[in-house]
Amino acid sequence: MEVAAFRILVAGVGNRLMGDDGFGLRVVELLSSRSLPENVDLKDLGTSGITATMEIEGYDLVIFLDSMKMAGDPGTIRQVEVDVHDMTEQDVLGLTEISLHEAGLEELIMFSKAIGTIPPRIILIGCKPKIILPGIELSDEVEQASHEAEKKVLEIIRQVST
C-alpha cells in the first residue's frame, strides 16, 4: 500500500493592482521559478476570500502569504502558525487585527473549519506594506521582503519534508 505524500499549498493572497498588497502574489511568482518538490503546489488566490475554501481542501499544510498590519517598518515580515486544532472563533477573529482585507483570511479559515476543509497546519507569512494605492509596483522595502519571504517558505518546505 502506497502512503500519500504530505501535500503543501503555498498560496499568495492580495491585489497586485494595489501596490504592496501584491506581496503574497509576488512571493508565489518568485517561487514559481524554483524547482520545488512534486508535493508542493503554488496558487495565486488573489482576493478570492472564502471562495478559496475548496482550494485549500486536501492539503496537510497551507502557507498563506499576504500583506498584514503590524508593528515595525515597511517590509517587516512576521510568521504566525495558526493552531487549527484548538482554534476558536475568537482566535480567528483576532486575525482581523493583522489582515488588510475585510473579507479575507480570517473568514476563509473560519469557514473552512466550519465545513471541514481546513488543513491540519496553517502558517501565515505577512509583510507590513508601505504603499497600498493603485499601481503594480511594490515599494523597494516590500520587494526586498518578498525575497526574504521566499527563503522562509523554502526553509519551511525543507523542514517539513525531512
The most confident of 26-30, 57-61, 112-116, 158-162, by mean pLDDT: 26-30
Grid cell 502558525 is found at: 81
Number of domains in the chain: 1
Cβ pair 134, 19 in contact under 8 A: yes
Q: How far apart are CA 18 and CA 138, in angstroms?
A: 9
Is residue 3 one of the residues assigned to a domain?
A: no
pLDDT (tens digit per residue) in 80-102: 888 776 666 555 555 544 454 54
Judged against a pLDDT cut of 80, whether residue 12 lies above it is answered with yes
**Quick one: what percent of the chain has pLDDT higher than 70?**
83
Is residue 1 one of the residues assigned to a domain?
A: no
CATH of the domain at 139: 3.40.50.1450
Judged against a pLDDT cut of 80, whether residue 141 lies above it is answered with yes
Please tell me which residue, 31 or 55, carries the higher pLDDT value: 31
Task: Say which range, 46-50, 80-84, 94-98, 120-124, has the weakest mean pLDDT.
Answer: 94-98
